[in-house]
Structure 1
Amino acid sequence: MKVHGKRHWLHVASTDKYTCYFAHPKRGSEAIDAMGILPEFKGVAVHDGWKPYNGYNCDHALCNAHLQRELIGIEESYKQQWAKDMNELLSEMKKYTDECKEQVKDLDFEQVKALEKRFDTVVAKGIEENPPSLNPERQGKRGMYPKTKARNLLDRFIEHKEKILRFLKDLKVPFENNQAERDVRMMKLQQKISGTFRTTRGAEAFCRIRAYISTIRKNGLPVLEGILAALKGAPLAIP
Structure 2
Amino acid sequence: MSGLEELSREELIALTRALMAENAALRERVAKLERLVSRISGNSGMPPSVDDLPGRKQPKERKADGPGRRRQGKQPGAQGKALAWSDEVADGDIVEHYPQGPCGCGADLGQAADLGVTARHQQIEIPLVVARRFEHHLHTMACRCGAVHTAPRPPGVPAAPVSLGVSLRAWCVYLLVVHAIPVHRVAELVASLTGAEPSPGFVYSLIGRAAAAVACANVRIRMLLTLAYVVCCDETPIRVEPKKAKKYLLVACDQLLTWYMLGGRDLETFKRFVLADLTGVVVHDRYQNYDATDLGERDHQLCAAHLLRDLEDCAETYPDAHWPRQLQMALRGLIHAANLARARGEGAIAAGTQAMFARMFRGGVAVGLSQVKRLPGPAKTVTQPVGRVLLEVLRDRADDVLRFAYDLRIPPTNNQAERDLRPAKTQQKISGRLRSEKATEQRYAVRGYLSTALKHGLDVMTVLRDALLGHLWMPPDPATA
Q: Same fold (TM over 0.5)?
A: yes
- Find the aligned partners of 1:100 and 1:13 in 2 and give their Cα distance: 26
Is the 2:326–2:360 contact (alpha carbons within 8 Å) kept by the matching residues of 1? no
Deviations 1:7-35 (CA, angstroms, capped at 9, x unpaired) = 100101111101111111x2122112223
AA in 1 matched with 2:331: L
1:124 and 2:363 equivalent? Answer: no
Q: 1:69 to 1:216 in 2, by over 3 A?
A: same
Structure 1 residue corresponding to 2:278, chosen from 41, 63, 76: 41
Normalised to the residue count of structure 1, the TM-score between the two structures is 0.91
AA in 2 matched with 1:186: P
Q: 1:226 to 1:93 in 2, by over 3 A?
A: same
Give percent identity, aligned residues only.
30
Aligned residue in 1 for 2:460? 223
Residue 133 of structure 1 deviates from its aligned partner by: 4.8
- Find the aligned partners of 1:189 and 1:34 in 2 and give their Cα distance: 26
1:10 and 2:249 equivalent? Answer: yes
Normalised to the residue count of structure 2, the TM-score between the two structures is 0.46
Residue 119 of structure 1 deviates from its aligned partner by: 1.6
Is the 1:132–1:145 contact (alpha carbons within 8 Å) kept by the matching residues of 2? no
Deviations 1:42-64 (CA, angstroms, capped at 9, x unpaired) = 11110001111012322110000
Give the alignment of 1:180-219 within 5 angstroms.
180-219=417-456
User: Runs of 4 or more off by more than 4 Å in structure 1?
Assistant: 143-146
Aligned residue in 1 for 2:269? 31
For CA contacts below 8 A with separation 6 or more, give which structure has more relative contact order.
1
Query: How many residues matched?
Result: 231
Structure 1 residue corresponding to 2:261, chosen from 13, 17, 22: 22
Give the alignment of 1:134-213 within 5 angstroms.
141-143=377-379, 147-213=384-450
1:62 and 2:298 equivalent? Answer: no
Residue 225 of structure 1 deviates from its aligned partner by: 1.2
Aligned residue in 2 for 1:137? none
- Find the aligned partners of 1:21 and 1:145 in 2 and give their Cα distance: 37
Deviations 1:38-95 (CA, angstroms, capped at 9, x unpaired) = 1111111100011110123221100000000110111012223211110111111111
- Find the aligned partners of 1:61 and 1:197 in 2 and give their Cα distance: 33
- Find the aligned partners of 1:110 and 1:78 in 2 and give their Cα distance: 31
AA in 2 matched with 1:103: R
Residue 234 of structure 1 deviates from its aligned partner by: 2.8
- Find the aligned partners of 1:7 and 1:127 in 2 and give their Cα distance: 38
AA in 1 matched with 2:310: E
CA RMSD, 1 decimal: 1.7
Q: 1:205 to 1:145 in 2, by over 3 A?
A: closer
Q: Compare CA radii of gyration and give the structure with the larger one.
A: 2
